[in-house]
Amino acid sequence: MLGIGVTATDTEIGKTVVSGALAAAMQYRGYKTGVYKPAASGCVNNSAGKLISTDAEFLLHCAGLQMEEHDKVVPYVLKDALAPAEASRLAGVKIELRVMLAGARQMLSNHQISIVEGVGGISAPLTEDYLVKDFFRDLQLPLVIVVKAVLGNVNHAVLTAEYARVHGLQVLGLIVNGWDEKTAGSLETSNLYYYEKLTGLPILGKLPVLPQELLQEFESRALAEITEANIDIDKILSLAGGVVK
């Protein structure tokens, strides 16, 4: 029944990879693990002509679920790589809040822990007047914020954390994605310092740059091992209130 929301400082920062990493770790800890995304843009047709979310596909594999569950993981699949509010308008699809929320609640109630990936950044519009933060608030999910140690990202992390607080969302901490210990210089290490100092949030882990084949072949066991070695899963679970057995 426990849920953790995953947002980020921007699109393409690594929400899907980090969500999959968390889901893989939970799965290999033996928890019945769910994954969810309220809407996906930039979806592609599979060989049968069905629109598929590659984010949902990755998340499914990481959680040990079957591809048949695709539509339960993501209720809205949209072709244009635009915010769902606009991609759905162009597709002539009406995004219903109750559909996104009911799907999420079903996933949550059927699993011991569910990882819920947001869309874009925290204020991305799911519909014209319903933003990602509204979705997380309605589900009362504690959040982790995925950040990336590049120039300008401290500012985005502070804005995201503050925006979450202003809107009454609980943030557990930050996860740094794409960390490379060998090449980290003063930019990267000072980012780490200022993330914690300026947001007041803990860094819960640093996920390294992962081999492409691991991501493409959905190697969930290897991903779970890397996650356990680099992200404090115990701390995330305890901050989020623990998993009910």
Which active-site residues does the annotation give?
A: 37
Structure tokens at 97: 């809040």
Establish if 55 lies at the interface with Mg ion (CB under 5 A).
yes
Residues, the chain? 245
Interaction with Mg ion in 8-27: which residues (CB under 5 A)?
15-16
Instruction: Report the nearest approach of ligand ATP to the CB of residue 54 (Å).
Output: 8
Of 169, 113, 109, give the one whose Cα is nearest residue 145: 169
Q: Which is nearer to ligand ATP, 232 or 243 (CB)?
A: 232
The entry of Mg ion, ligand ATP, none near residue 209 (CB within 5 to 8 angstroms by kind) is ligand ATP
Q: Which is nearer to ligand ATP, 198 or 215 (CB)?
A: 215
Instruction: Report the nearest approach of ligand ATP to the CB of residue 206 (Å).
Output: 10
Q: Which is nearer to ligand ATP, 67 or 209 (CB)?
A: 209
The entry of ligand ATP, Mg ion, none near residue 14 (CB within 5 to 8 angstroms by kind) is ligand ATP
Residues whose CB falls within 8 Å of the CB of residue 28, separated by 6 or more in sequence, listed in order: 220, 221, 224, 225, 228
DSSP lists the bridge partners of residue 173 as: 144
Instruction: Report the nearest approach of Mg ion to the CB of residue 189 (Å).
Output: 27
The entry of ligand ATP, Mg ion, none near residue 13 (CB within 5 to 8 angstroms by kind) is ligand ATP
Instruction: Report the nearest approach of Mg ion to the CB of residue 15 (Å).
Output: 5
Q: Name residue, tokens 């920062």.
A: 13
Alpha helices in the chain (DSSP H): 15-28, 54-63, 70-73, 84-91, 97-110, 132-139, 153-166, 186-199, 212-216, 220-230, 233-240
Q: Which is nearer to ligand ATP, 222 or 243 (CB)?
A: 222
For residue 227, what are the CA distances in angstroms to 22, 162, 238?
Answer: 7, 27, 17
Q: For Mg ion, how many residues bind (rule: CB under 5 A)?
A: 3
DSSP lists the bridge partners of residue 116 as: 5, 36
Instruction: Report the nearest approach of ligand ATP to the CB of residue 146 (Å).
Output: 7
- The residue number with the shortest CB distance to Mg ion is 16
Give the three-state DSSP class for 56: helix
The CB-side HSE value for 111 (13 A sphere, CA atoms) comes to 28
Q: Which is nearer to ligand ATP, 27 or 177 (CB)?
A: 177
List contacts with ligand ATP (CB under 6 A).
8, 11-17, 55, 120, 177-178, 207, 209-210, 215
- Using CB under 5 A as the criterion, which residues of the chain lie in contact with Mg ion when the complex forms? 15-16, 55
